Each structure stands twice: as structure tokens, then as C-alpha cells.
Amino acid sequence: MPAQDAGPGRAAVTVAVFAACAATALVGLVATASPAAAATATVAGTPCPTTAKACVDLTTQRAWLISNGVVTRGPVGVGSGGPGEETPTGTFHVLVKDQNHVSAEQGGTPMPYSVFFAPGGVAFHGGNLRKASAGCVHLADADAITFFNTLKIGDEVDVLATTPPTPTTQPDKPAPPARKPVLPKAPPLHL
């Protein structure tokens, strides 16, 4: 049937086919857009996914380098962003590396062995672990050199804020009996 003779029946079929294709595409998008929905394997002894090449736990202030799901360096101590300039959490990728970077935003502060991985200039770099950063992840100099030499453009970086475990009671174990206070004996009264 020529296109000009297409009646309401053909239009309905076209709409139905479009709706079915759109629904199929949407299902595929939903299934692939949230890999977090699937259980992600973690690297033994870390909170890090096996897909990460570098990982930071902001709660414990530790970081790791990982290769093929195995820790190659770490845990190493880190310093992270302070109040109002927190280090962002999430999954990122190495964007740029600069061995001798100097921060224009922080008044010419040296950022040796910078590995930038998040928007806003967030990077791993050598720095003081005891001083809050403006969002970067400070590493000791030896660790900064290793992170710089190991990580490649495009490598996955995961920044997490793990929740410390909360104390739990053990229902199988009864609470200890209350103890009566033991008072010292008073000396005898002589009247």
C-alpha cells in the first residue's frame, strides 16, 4: 500500500511498533545503567570493587592500588577534603596526570605527582596527611610516586565512605548478672 493511502490502521501499527521498540530500549537502558544493582565483588581485605585500579575509603582514611582484583599496594594512609570541601564519593576514571602540578586555585600550592580523577580538579597527590585538603586525596610522597607511576589514563578510581560496624548484642549470650556493690566495713562505733 502506498504511503499516501496509509489509513488509521497503519498509523496504529506504526505507533505500536515504536512503543515496543522504545520499551525494549528502555528495559535495556535500565538493566545496564545501574550496575550497582548487581552484587559487586570486592577485593579481599578492602571495601573496593574488583574493577577498581585505585580505591579510597574516606571513613578509615586508607587507599589501595589494585590489579586484577588483587591489592598491589596498601592500605596506605591518606588525607582528604575538609568541611565544605569534601572529597567526592563515587566511581571515577583517571583524567590527567601531572608530575609537577601547581594549583592556581590554592594560591600556587605544589601538588606533586598529581593524578586527576574527578571534576573540579580532584586528584591523588603528595601532601600532608594531617591537613584537610580542598577535596584532593593527599598521599605520602613515596605513595604518591607509586600511584602516579602505576595509574593510567582511563583507570577506574573508586572513592567510598564506608559505614563503621555498629555494635550488636548477642541474643545467645545472656547479660552478666548485676553485681551488688561491695562497701568497705565501717569501723565499730564506741559510745
pLDDT at residue number 163:
77
pLDDT at residue number 178:
53
Query: 10 Å Cβ neighbour count for 66?
Result: 24
pLDDT at residue number 9:
45
Q: Distance of CA 57 to CAs 7, 74, 77, 106, 152, Å?
A: 62, 12, 10, 24, 20
Regions in the chain scoring below 50 on pLDDT: 1-6, 9-37, 169, 181-182
pLDDT at residue number 4:
46
pLDDT at residue number 3:
42
- What pTM was computed for the model? 0.66
pLDDT at residue number 40:
79
